[in-house]
Amino acid sequence: EDQVTQSPEALRLQEGESSSLNCSYTVSGLRGLFWYRQDPGKGPEFLFTLYSAGEEKEKERLKATLTKKESFLHITAPKPEDSATYLCAGADSSYKLIFGSGTRLLVRP
């Protein structure tokens, strides 16, 4: 069965303290690995898509990487406004997204 697992469930960081979020996947025929950000009371907001192992993408303080088994979202020198839930999702062979349960990130000033 296709599955996406995220860790940790929650992460507390001080402002400026860099860290990484993990997304492990077992999705047969993976068509892409998607990262979304979700703020309370809002819908998920698209961040990145990674299509092949070794690929990396960056946006401001965020960098996403992909291997054959997992993806990482690296957050460099985070700010309080980076606090949110980060969701990853694997696209299966029919491009349906299978979401992980998310990592709740809190960045304290």
Partner 1 sequence: DAGVIQSPRHEVTEMGQEVTLRCKPISGHNSLFWYRQTMMRGLELLIYFNNNVPIDDSGMPEDRFSAKMPNASFSTLKIQPSEPRDSAVYFCASRGQAPWDEQFFGPGTRLTVL
- Residues near partner 1 (CB under 8 A) are 31-32, 34, 36, 41-46, 49, 51, 87, 89, 91, 94-102
Cis-peptide, bond into residue 80, ω within 30° of zero = no
Minimum distance between the CB of residue 33 and partner 1, rounded to whole angstroms? 11
The count of C-alpha atoms lying within 13 angstroms of the C-alpha of 15, restricted to the half-sphere facing its C-beta, is 5
Closest to partner 1 by CB, 11 vs 98, is: 98
DSSP state of 58: E
Minimum distance between the CB of residue 96 and partner 1, rounded to whole angstroms? 6
CA of residue 38 relative to chain centroid, distance: 11
Closest to partner 1 by CB, 78 vs 85, is: 85
CA–CA distance, 75 with 107 (Å, rounded to integer): 11
Alpha-carbon separation of residue 34 from 12, 13, 72, 99 (angstroms):
23, 23, 11, 9
Closest to partner 1 by CB, 17 vs 22, is: 22
Minimum distance between the CB of residue 68 and partner 1, rounded to whole angstroms? 18
Minimum distance between the CB of residue 23 and partner 1, rounded to whole angstroms? 13
Closest to partner 1 by CB, 14 vs 46, is: 46
